[in-house]
Amino acid sequence: MPYAPVNGLNMYYEIHGEGPPLLLLHGGSGSIPERWIQLFTPQFRVIAPEQMGHGRTADLIDRPFHYHDMAEDTVELMGQLGVESAVVVGYSDGGIIGLDMAIHHPERVTKLAVTGANARFDGYTEENQEFARSFDPGSEPVSEMYADLSPDGAEHWPVVLGRLKTMWAAEPSFTNEELQSISAPTLLVIGDRDIVTPEHAVQMFRTIPGAQLCVVPNAGHGTMPQEAVLRFLREDGIDAR
């Protein structure tokens, strides 16, 4: 299994397919989204890492969770793999990491497509804001995927959830100036029943220069409209036929 020493982590990643590099970034408390790899491998070399405390990458208990740190881990992995720049596709927390990369490492991101990602905590629905602040990590049943994959063991589930809760209740907090600095062509995808409000997605769309917005009807968090995303990736010369 491929691991890389990244900022103190033993970071797990997978590579699938051939072609231009595409970073596929999973959501919070999740792992590599296997169902999406096949959407992109006919056209891209998909690089799919697992962030600290997710999947097969162990938690560093003395390091807090921050989106910026996970973005820096991802950039460091790119360097170790000899990938100068890549298309970035991210879901939820992975989309937030992609936004951070596009802000702080614009030379690394050729295109950015995110689904279910917000720029600020108040971009969540009121219900999800309350959930992020008040849910009890100790009462959440352990994810079967986490129990199967985590080197920390199933008993670490409430610990990692508690650590993630601290981040989820306060981040992200990108400024309008940071969003305006994004130079990569950007596609924002949201379901009309997402945990991120459509109003917030429209605000992001209006703030990121040249951004495109795709609102998927009758869809929840993490929708992935294949045709719309691949059409976006085909624009301006990226071969995603």
Please return the burial class of 130, using the count of CB atoms within 10 Å of its CB with bins 0-12, 13-18 and 19+: exposed
**28: DSSP letter:** T
Residue-range domains of the chain with CATH:
3-234 (3.40.50.1820)
pTM: 0.97
3-state secondary structure at position 201: helix
The Cα-based distances of 223 to 177, 186, 190 in angstroms read 28, 16, 7
pLDDT value at position 116? 98
Taking only the tens place, the pLDDT of each residue in 217-230 is 999 999 999 999 99
- CA angle in degrees (0–180, nearest 5) for 12-56-92: 85
β-pair partners for 24: 89
The answer to whether residue 239 scores a pLDDT higher than 50 is no
The answer to whether residue 238 scores a pLDDT higher than 80 is no
**Average pLDDT over every residue of 28-53:** 96
**Average pLDDT over every residue of 123-140:** 96
- 34-71 as b/e: b if 16+ CB within 10 A: eebbebbbebbbbbbbbbbbbbbbbbbeeeebebebbb
- Nearest 10 degrees: CA dihedral of 172, 177, 180, 181? -90
pLDDT value at position 93? 98
Residue 130: both structure tokens together:
């309350």
The answer to whether residue 54 scores a pLDDT higher than 50 is yes
- Which residues fall within 8 angstroms of residue 201, CB to CB, at 6 or more apart? 123, 188, 190, 194, 213, 215
Cα 124 to Cα 20: distance, rounded to the nearest angstrom: 33
Task: Report the half-sphere exposure of 134 (CA within 13 A, side-chain side).
Answer: 6
Taking only the tens place, the pLDDT of each residue in 59-74 is 999 999 999 999 999 9
β-pair partners for 9: 6
Cα 81 to Cα 158: distance, rounded to the nearest angstrom: 33
Query: Which residue in the block uniquely carries the two structure tokens 């959830």?
Result: 161
Q: List Cβ<8 Å contacts ≥24 apart for 154-158.
A: 156/59
Taking only the tens place, the pLDDT of each residue in 158-209 is 999 999 999 999 999 999 999 999 999 999 999 999 999 999 999 999 999 9
